[in-house]
Structures are given as structure tokens and as C-alpha cells.
Chains A and B, each alone.
Chain A
Amino acid sequence: MNVPTLLAFSLYLILMLAIGVFFYLRTKNLSDYILGGRQLNGAVAALSAGASDMSGWLLLGLPGAIYASGLNNAWIGIGLIIGAFLNWQFVARPLRVYTELSGDSITLPDFLENRFNDTSRLLRLTSASVILIFFTIYTSAGLVGGAILFEKTFSLDYNMALWIGTIVIVSYTFLGGFMAVSWTDFFQGILMFLALMVIPIYAMSQIGGWEATLETVHGINPDYIDIFSGMSLFSITSLMVWGLGYFGQPHILARFMSVKSPSSIPMAQLIGMIWMILSLTGAVLTGLIGIAYFSEVPLANPETVFIALNQAIMNPWIGGLLLAAILSAIMSTVDSQLLVSSSTIAEDFYRKMLHKNAQQKHLVWIGRAAVVGIALIAVILASDRESSVLDLVAYAWGGFGAAFGPVIILSLFWKRMTRNGALSGMISGAITVIIWKQLQGGVFDMYEILPGFVISSCCIIIASLLDKRPEKAIETEFEKAKKAY
């Protein structure tokens, strides 16, 4: 076993646990546990939104795709950057303001029910169920990724690796809730950023600089350095629309809702966008430099390009720490999804449906129990890494984007929207994504989030206009919120 790497990993894991214990002592009520009592510092919100958004894809998937077929894979990154920017610019502040104004909503289902004064509980039940099912599977897929990393790095048995990873993530999430998750995400975000800056820059200097790198890559295949190679307007659009997913991701929107003050959002946006742009640039460069570095003996698995470069060029002590960045990327996504699922159980099902007058201390422990329960289900699912249930993850980004994205945007900006409009948008967006994904060829090769988003938006507008006008109290609350945007 590699001692420096083991020590670096251990140090990193101990830091995560210490953060969990620190915030355990500061958690007093359910709002603290699942939304940090809306006291999140702007910089932490920025980096934790970025880190929880970017899973292992940032350090494994994207560099691997660039390594395998060149710069034309950068389109997805450009689309994501534009989507994240629009989300910060147009959704963050209104969502922060409106969720607090509308019954101090602490989850998305909570907000939707309060926003439309839905006494039937249909909106809450539908949205909470979708979040719970998909995030449990998402969490499980993340645990599989983390376990495979442990398995390969330390030659550990897969199941042993799965349990170690799960125990660490569950421990700090269980103890410290949202603040622990956000602060661990913050440090994980810094580590991911450093790794994606250090590795490509250092590797490029080893090869002989930018021009030498470019020349080697060009010599292997000139198409690798052309962003338009093999691309049509259709395929570019299909990659760029991934950015639409941001508007409906509950774990990212939760960061907006938790920021200490709406006035701290612009600075958070600036920090978040710089982090994202530089990290994605680093990931693209890692893939490109990998092509040049491993030109004589190409890698069998393109997704290992970051790990292979790290092993080839870095001192084992620094390399061990940078390798922990991959674990950071995976953990920062898993912990956020785990907490959102737990908040759905504690707030949306338990408090609102079963035990309305439960004491805050009691609710916090329900939240903690939910973290453990969901993690256990996720581990059981993850114990069979080939399980077909995990394939459902492929639906999650597009499904959340299309089901929740238009509902959230229109609920923030369109006064005439109704409960039935929201419900039809959510259902039609999800169904479109599921059906579109089964079909292939021609127009069906477009990434399903685009048709899902369009159809959901149309359904919201049509169903709302066919419905009777919202009650006066709802319109008054909307006007009040809009003034504060």
C-alpha cells in the first residue's frame, strides 16, 4: 500500500470528520440541520454549490472525454458554465428572497406548496417523492464511484471500500447537517481546484510548454485541437443544453436558499463562476495534455488520465493529496444529495404530514435518522455495482432539470402561474425525459432535457391559463417578493 497516499487520504478524512463534529455542537433546530439556519457565508455557498454540482465527472469523465476524442468535448463545459451563470444571475436571489417570505420554506417541495397555497399536498408529495427516489439512487451511484477509487488506489476489497467511504460521509453529514456538508464541500472545492490547476500546469512544463503540447497532440490527430471537429449545430446544441439542468437541481438550489443575506449573492456568484471556469479549464487541459504526455503508450482507460498524470509527474506526498481531490469531488456530491433526501423525509413527510407539532430537537434527530436510513439503502443498492437500478442515474440530471427547472423559474417570475400549472409542468417534464431517452435516431438524438424543458414550460403556461386566477393573497405575496428581488 502506498504510504504517502494513505496518509494524505487519512488526513483529508479526519478533517472532514472534524468539521462534522464542529457543526454538531452548533445545530439547534431543523432549519439549522437542513438549511444551516440561512446563515451560510457567500464564499462557502459559492464553492459548495460548485463542488456539490461537479461530481467525479470533473476529474475523471471530462478529462477522459477530451483525452479520448479531443477538444470537441469542451462544448458540454461551455454549456454548463452558461447554465450555472444564468442560474446565479436570475434564480439565486429571487429564490432566496421568495422562499423566506413564503412561510420560511426550507425545502423545494415546501416552497412549492407555500407558493401556491396548495392545501391538497399534491405538489409536496409529488416533488418530495421524485427527489427522494432519484437522490437515493444518485447517492448510491456516487458511493460506487468512491468505492472503486478506494479499491484501485489501496487495493481494498470493493465492499470494504464501500463501507469505509459511506461511514465517513454519513458521519459528518449525520453530525453536522447542512453546515458540515457545505463547509466540507468548501474545502473539497478548494482541493479540486488546486488539483486541476497544479497537474496540467506542471505536466505542461514537463512536456516543454503549451506549443510543444499542441504540436504533439496535432501530430497524433489534428482534429483533437479543433473544437468543431465532427460537430454539427445539432450536436453542439445537444451538448450545450446540459446547462439547462441547473435550474432544477435541488442540492444546488438549496445553496441559494441558505445564503446568509440576498446581498451576499453577487459576490458568491463571482467566486462561484471563477471557480467553475478555472476548474473546467483545468479539466479540459488535463485531458489535452494527457494526449501529449501518453503519446507513446496510450492509456487503456481514458478516464484515468488525471490519476495517471498525477502518478507520473507528482511527488508521492503531493500526489496523494491531489488524488484525494477525486474523492472530494465524489463526496461533495454524495453528501449534498444525501442531506436533501434526509430533509425531504424530516420536513416534507414527517413534520408536514405526520407530526406537525414535533419539537425541533426531535426533528433534528429524525433528519439524522433519515441520513442513516437513506445511506443504508444506498449502500445495499451499491453493493451490486452492476445493478440496473443504478442506470436510473442517467435520467437524474435531465429529469430534475426538466421537471423542476421551468416550475422554479416560472413560479419566481410569473404571477399568473397556478398550482395545477406547476403540477402539470413537473409531470410533463419528467415524462418527456423518460420517453425521449428510450427513442433513438434523428431528432431523438437531442439530449432529452431540451424537449423536456420546452414541453414542461408549455404545459405550465397552458394549464395555468386554463385554470382560474390565483387567489388574491397569493398574488399579493408574489408582488411583495418581486419587489425584493
Chain B
Amino acid sequence: MSEVSLSLATWFWLIVPQSLIIVLSIANYFVQRKKPLQ
């Protein structure tokens, strides 16, 4: 088993902003879906 791994900070920046953006885009989809067109 290898002992080499990415640091926590590297994992954070490679995963968290991207995942957050997908979650926010999904939330936006559900919020906007209910919004009536003017």
C-alpha cells in the first residue's frame, strides 16, 4: 500500500469549489423552475 497521497489542502481545492458549484447549480435549477416568466 502506497503512503503517498495528496495533501488535504490540495484535495480541498481540487474537489470543494467544483462540487459546491454543481450543488449551487442544482439548487438554482429547482429555485428558478418555480419562478414564473414575466
Contact = CB atoms under 8 A, between A and B. Distances in A.
A, B assembled together: yes
Interface of A: 71, 74-75, 78, 81-82, 85, 88-89, 93, 211-212, 214-215, 218, 225-228, 261-263, 265-267, 269-270, 273-274, 277, 281, 284, 483-484
Nearest to A75: B13
B1 to A, nearest CB: 8
Contact of B25 (A214, A225, A263, A269): A269
Contacts of B1: 211
A78 B25 contact: no
A154 to B, nearest CB: 37
22 contacts: A71-B6, A71-B14, A74-B14, A78-B13, A88-B25, A89-B24, A211-B2, A214-B5, A215-B4, A226-B7, A226-B10, A228-B7, A228-B9, A263-B35, A266-B28, A266-B32, A270-B22, A270-B28, A270-B29, A273-B21, A273-B25, A274-B22
Contacts of A93: 32
B36 to A, nearest CB: 9
A278 B38 CA distance: 34
A269 B29 contact: yes
SS class, residues of chain A in contact with chain B:
helix
B10 A71 contact: yes
Given A261-B37, A266-B33, A274-B22, A89 B28 contact: yes
B37 A262 contact: yes
A70 to B, nearest CB: 10
A89 B1 CA distance: 43
Given A212-B2, A263-B32, A270 B26 contact: yes
Contacts, number: 84
A227 B21 contact: no
Contacts of B25: 85, 88-89, 266, 269-270, 273-274
Interface of B: 1-2, 4-7, 9-10, 13-14, 17-18, 21-22, 24-26, 28-29, 31-33, 35, 37-38
A18 to B, nearest CB: 33
Contacts of B13: 74-75, 78, 227
A74 B38 CA distance: 41
Nearest to A270: B25
A227 B4 contact: no
Given A215-B4, A277-B18, 16 more contacts: A71-B10, A82-B17, A85-B21, A89-B24, A211-B1, A263-B33, A263-B35, A265-B32, A266-B25, A266-B29, A267-B29, A270-B22, A270-B26, A270-B29, A273-B25, A274-B25
A269 B37 contact: no
A277 B32 contact: no
Contacts of B21: 81-82, 85, 273, 277
A225 B6 contact: yes
Nearest to A485: B38
Given A269-B28, A277-B22, A263 B37 contact: yes
B4 to A, nearest CB: 4
A214 B18 contact: no
A232 B22 CA distance: 28
A299 B25 CA distance: 39
Contacts of B26: 270
Contact of B10 (A81, A225, A267): A225
B9 A227 contact: yes
**Interface core residue of B14, B21, B31, B35 (most chain A CB under 10 Å):** B21
A454 to B, nearest CB: 23
Contacts of A228: 7, 9-10
A284 B13 CA distance: 13
A113 B31 CA distance: 33
A88 B33 CA distance: 15
A207 to B, nearest CB: 12
A269 B26 CA distance: 9
Nearest to B30: A266
Nearest to B33: A266
B34 to A, nearest CB: 10
A217 to B, nearest CB: 8
A480 to B, nearest CB: 8
Q: Which 10 residue pairs are nearest across A and B when measured between Cβ atoms?
A: A484-B38, A266-B29, A266-B32, A227-B10, A211-B2, A218-B4, A270-B25, A277-B18, A215-B2, A85-B21
A82 B37 CA distance: 27
B15 to A, nearest CB: 10
A277 B4 CA distance: 25
A81 B4 contact: no
B37 A281 contact: no
